[in-house]
Amino acid sequence: MSIEKLLCMNKEWAKKVALEQPELFATLSKQQAPKYLWIGCSDSRVPANEIVGMLPGELFVHRNVANLVKHVDFNCQAVIQYAVDVLKVEHIIVCGHYGCGGVKVAMENTNAGISDYWLRSIKDLFSRHRGELKNLDNQELRLNRMCEINVVEQVATLVHTKIVQSAWQRNQPLEIHGWIYGIDNGVIKNLNVSRNGLEDIEDIYQVDI
Catalytic residues: 41, 43, 45, 97, 100
Burial (CB < 10 A; 0-12, 13-18, 19+), residue 51, is middle
Cβ at position 97, least distance to Co ion in Å: 6
Cβ at position 69, least distance to Co ion in Å: 14
Closer CB to Co ion, 34 or 102, in the complex = 102
The SS3 call for residue 4 is helix
Closer CB to Co ion, 34 or 40, in the complex = 40
d(Cα 176, Cα 165) in Å, to the nearest integer?
Answer: 12
Strands across the sheet with 188-190, in order?
A: 59-64, 36-41, 91-97, 175-181, 188-190
Q: Which helix (H) or strand (E) element contains residue 97?
A: strand 91-97
Closer CB to Co ion, 59 or 122, in the complex = 122
| Rounded (10°) angle between helices 162-169 and 74-81 | 20
Cβ at position 146, least distance to Co ion in Å: 12
User: Which parts of this chain interact with Co ion (CB under 5 A)?
Assistant: 41, 43, 100, 102
Closer CB to Co ion, 43 or 153, in the complex = 43
Cβ at position 68, least distance to Co ion in Å: 10
